[in-house]
Amino acid sequence: MKVSYHGHSVVFVEAKGKKIIFDPFITGNGTTDLKADEVEVDVILLTHGHNDHVGDTVALAKRNDALVIAPFELAAYLGWQGVNTHPLHIGGAHEFDFGTVKLTQAFHGSSFTIEEEQKIIYTGMPAGILLTTEGKTIFHAGDTALFGDMKVIGERNTIDLAFLPIGDNFTMGPDDAAVAAEWLQAKRVVPIHYNTFPLIKQDGKQFAEQLPGKKGLALGVGESIEL
């Protein structure tokens, strides 16, 4: 299995012959190496409805005939736009041909903003995502604060690779993310959701180096890891 990082919270997974992308914020993302009109994908996994996570979902899904998996309200909203969706909700899991997807809690907001109309559309609860495929489990925390039940997630799952936000201001900062890494007991931890905007500027390498047991891994944009 190949897992790569592409700026902000964009994570790409190639497993079981499928191409899977988390939170495809590409257009308008100055930190990504991807081009929206060139990305080939079979499955899109969404943690919540904010514009910098939904990103290019509709265009990607329609062009690739991709399946979008998202929390219920967000899945419904995207489905009304002609996208093939599978709704899940917090604590729920479903087995697909590429693996199992389960949603966890995340403490954040979830809405889609239409700036020109000064309109905010509620898109349900935010989530983290556990993806289990090829005998490995990846945890994408989405946007979240530190919360105690991360201990439960770590106790009930063997997490091979965790993606944790460190940007602060809107999510956990580095110090809280370090505690999250400890509680989740992940074998490897990659920082995400930082340096995209001035408000979330952080040092990903410094964060990774502070984690014990050399479990921290600050992937550069476009870099990958094999699981």
Per-residue pLDDT averaged across 50-72, rounded? 98
108: DSSP letter: S
Domain membership of residue 227 (yes or no) is no
pTM score, two decimals? 0.97
- Tokens 């931890």 appear where? 189
Burial 52-67 (b: 16+ CB within 10 A, else e): bbbbbbebbbeebebb
- Its sign, for the CA torsion 19, 22, 26, 29, is negative
Does residue 9 lie in a domain region? yes
Specify the pLDDT at position 100. 98
Asked if residue 81 is part of any domain, the answer here is: yes
Within-domain flag for 223: no
How confident is the model over 138-175, as pLDDT tens digits? 999 999 999 999 999 999 999 999 999 999 999 999 99
**Inside any domain, residue 112:** yes
Domain harbouring 82, CATH code: 3.60.15.10
Q: How many domains does the chain have?
A: 1
pLDDT of residue 23: 98
Position 90 in a domain: yes
User: Contact 116/144 with Cβ under 8 angstroms?
Assistant: no
Measure CA of the first residue to CA of the last residue in the chain; give whole Å.
5
The domain containing residue 38 runs over which residues? 2-217
131: CB partners within 8 A, 6+ apart = 13, 20, 45, 99, 100, 101, 137, 138, 139, 140
Question: Is 222 inside a domain boundary?
Answer: no
Looking at the DSSP bridge assignments, the partners of residue 85 are: 68
Per-residue pLDDT reduced to its tens digit, 82-128: 999 999 999 999 999 999 999 999 999 999 999 999 999 999 999 99
Instruction: Give whole-number Cα distances, 45 to 109, 179, 212, in Å.
Output: 17, 25, 30
| pLDDT band per the 50, 70, 90 thresholds, residue 130 | very high
pLDDT digits (tens, 9 = 90+) for 42-51: 999 999 999 9
Q: 118 in a domain, yes or no?
A: yes
